[in-house]
Amino acid sequence: MLTMKRALGFALTVFAALGLMTSPTSAVAQGGAGKTRVLIVTGGHDFEKPQFFKTFDANPDITWKAVEHPNAHALLTPAAAKEWDVLLLYDMHQEISDAAKTDFLARLKEGKGLVVMHHAIANYQAWGEYHKIIGARYYLAKTNVNGIEKARSAYKHDVDIPVKIATPDHPITRGLKDYTIHDETYKWFDIFDGSQPLLRTEEPESSPVIAWAKTYANARVVYLQSGHDHKAYENPNFQTLLRQAINWVARKD
């Protein structure tokens, strides 16, 4: 029995040395060589779940875990955040405690990456710092901002949107050419200074800028307007854009 245990121990040592003992969910932190661990937050808005998550299954650069509100904020704590590198928001949620705000900001100061997709631009209407984080403010209702009345932001489904690459040399748009995507548009929202446009459109039902990159504290942040349903998820240009956005915020560009 002792001989067998020694033999087994020797074999395990050899396998470990050769790198053959790996976990499918293991990863190296931002900028490392392992797969990027993505935490996907949903809740507050319907979406086509199988088709949406298939997009992440097809991404060879990542592992992912999904969490839905009201359970998402618990995964922003220091201990829970050790299990992910990039936070991807695909939610439309308003309630956030002071503790969750503190955790959110702390993760960005640590350099965790942030990708904000589609309707997540409308999160946390009453939390002004969220607007600064993502570089924009979407209005779910008519709002007075510093004495200026802002109209309610608008959207339109089922639009064939002509997309122009605004910054072709950026790692997120690298290799992409102008394309068309069937998707939902947003307009009448504010984009703040410091946001670098990545994609533009001349579609009159949309904001002219439909994707941008920025930084907040030590974090890289990307917003992508695209992503309403399977017609967008399955567009190969969108898939490339999303994959490269995750890589960029994870500092693997």
The pLDDT value recorded for residue 111 is 98
Q: Are 211 and 225 in contact (CB under 8 A)?
A: yes
Which whole number is the average pLDDT over 238-251? 98
pLDDT > 90 fraction of the chain, expressed in percent and rounded: 86
Task: List, for residues 230-244, the tens digit of each pLDDT value.
Answer: 999 999 999 999 999
Q: Are 35 and 22 in contact (CB under 8 A)?
A: no
pLDDT at 2 over 60: no
Which whole number is the average pLDDT over 170-175? 98
Q: Are 168 and 237 in contact (CB under 8 A)?
A: no
pLDDT at 9 over 70: no
Q: Where are the domains of the chain?
A: 2-249
H-type alpha helices, the chain:
2-17, 49-57, 98-109, 128-134, 230-233, 236-249
Radius of gyration of the chain, Cα coordinates, nearest whole angstrom: 20
Q: Are 164 and 199 in contact (CB under 8 A)?
A: yes
The pLDDT value recorded for residue 173 is 98
**Residue 171: which of 226, 241, 90, 87 has the closest Cα?**
241
10 Å CB burial of residue 42 (0-12, 13-18, 19+) is buried
Residue carrying the six token digits 């608008």:
154
For 118, phi then psi, to 5°, come to 50, -115
Task: List, for residues 71-118, the tens digit of each pLDDT value.
Answer: 999 999 999 999 999 999 999 999 999 999 999 999 999 999 999 999
CATH architecture, domain 2-249: 3-Layer(aba) Sandwich (3.40)
| Three-state SS sequence of 156-204 | EEEEEEEEEECCCCCCCCCCCCCEEEEEEEEECCEECCCCEEEEECCCC
**Residue 85: which of 121, 52, 111 has the closest Cα?**
111
**Residue 86: which of 64, 103, 105, 101 has the closest Cα?**
64
Q: Which helix (H) or strand (E) holds 147?
A: none
Q: Are 93 and 124 in contact (CB under 8 A)?
A: yes
Within 10 angstroms of residue 95's Cβ, the number of other Cβ atoms is: 12
Higher confidence at residue 11 or residue 224? 224
Contacts of 36 (CB under 8 A, 6+ apart): 27, 30, 61, 62, 63, 85, 86, 113, 246, 247, 250, 252
